[in-house]
Structure 1
Amino acid sequence: MLRVEHVMGFPVSVRVDEAASGVPEAAADEVFAWLREVDARFSPFRPDSEVCALDRGEIRAGAVSAELAEILGLCEHYRLATGGAFDVRLPGRGLDPCAVVKGWSVQKAAELLSAAGATRYCVNAGGDVVAAGGPWRVGLRHPEHADRLCAVLAITDGAVATSARYERGDHILDARTGRPATGLLSLTVVAPSLTEADATATAAFAMGARGVEWAASRDGCEVFAVDEDRRVLRTPGFPAVRAAA
Structure 2
Amino acid sequence: MLIHQANRPPTKGRPALAAYRGKRPDLRLGARSARQNDRPVSVPADRIVARHTVPTSTNEYSLLLSAPADLGRRGLGEAIRDAVAELRAIDITYSPARAGSLVSRLRRGEITADSYPPLADIVARCAAMRAATDGWFDAWAVPGGFDPGGLLNGWAVERAAARLRAAGIDDYAVFSGADLVVHGHAPHGGPWRIAVHHPTQSHRPPMMLEMTSGAVGTSGVAGRRDHVVDPHTGEPANQFLAATVTGPDLAVADGYATALFAAGPTGLDWFPTVDGYRVLFAASR
What TM-score, normalized to structure 2? 0.73
Aligned to 2:117: 66
**Cα distance per residue 1:113-144 (max 9 Å; x no partner):** 11111121111122211111131122223232
Q: Give SS of 1:15's match.
A: strand
3-state SS of 2:76 partner: coil
Q: Distance in 1 between matches of 2:129 and 2:56?
A: 25
Answering whether residue 147 of structure 2 is matched by residue 96 of structure 1, we say: yes
CA contact (8 A) 2:239 2:262 kept: no
Match of 1:26 in 2: 78
RMSD: 2.1
Q: Is residue 169 of structure 1 aligned with residue 225 of structure 2?
A: yes
Counterpart AA for 2:256:
T
Distance of 1:118 and 1:93 partners within structure 2: 40
> In structure 2, the residue corresponding to 1:182 is in which secondary structure?
coil
Q: 1:40 aligns with which of 92, 95, 101?
A: 92
Residue in structure 2 matched with residue 2 of structure 1 by the alignment: 51
Question: How far did 1:146 drift?
Answer: 4.7
1:225 aligns with 2:266: no
Does structure 2 retain, via aligned residues, the 8 Å contact 1:139–1:149? no
1: CA distance, partners of 2:91 / 2:142:
24
Is the counterpart of residue 87 in structure 1 residue 138 in structure 2? yes
Contact 2:142–2:229 (Cα < 8 Å) also in 1:
no
Give yes or no for contact 1:143–1:166 (8 Å, CA) kept in 2: no
- Deviations along 1:36-66, one digit per CA (max 9) or x if unpaired, are 11111111111111111111111134x4201
Q: Which runs of 5+ in 1 are unaligned?
A: 230-245
Q: Residue 182 of structure 1: CA displacement?
A: 3.4
**RCO higher in 1 or 2 (8 Å CA, sep ≥ 6)?**
2
Which residue identity lines up with residue 254 of structure 2 in the other structure? Answer: D
1:59 partner letter: I
Query: In structure 2, which of residues 150, 166, 169 is the aligned counterpart of residue 115 of structure 1?
Result: 166
* Match of residue 182 from structure 1: 238
Return closer, same or farther for 1:149/1:38 CA change in 2, 3 Å cut-off: farther
Indicate the larger mover: 109-118 or 78-87: 78-87
CA distance in 2 between counterparts of 1:136 and 1:205 reads: 27
1:129 aligns with 2:180: yes
Q: Could you tell me which residue of structure 1 aligns to residue 254 of structure 2?
A: 198
| CA–CA distance in structure 1, aligned partners of residues 61 and 107 of structure 2 | 28
State the partner residue of 1:241.
none
1:171/1:98 CA distance change after superposition, 3 Å? same
How many residues are matched? Answer: 228
Cα distance in 1 for residues equivalent to 2:55 and 2:258:
22
Match of 1:159 among 208, 215, 221: 215
Structure-1 residue corresponding to 2:196: 140
Contact (CA 8 Å) 2:87, 2:160: kept in 1 or not?
A: yes
SS class of match (1:205): helix
Q: Answer whether contact 2:67 2:76 (CA < 8 A) is retained.
A: no
Q: 2:235 and 2:161 mapped to 1: Cα distance? A: 34
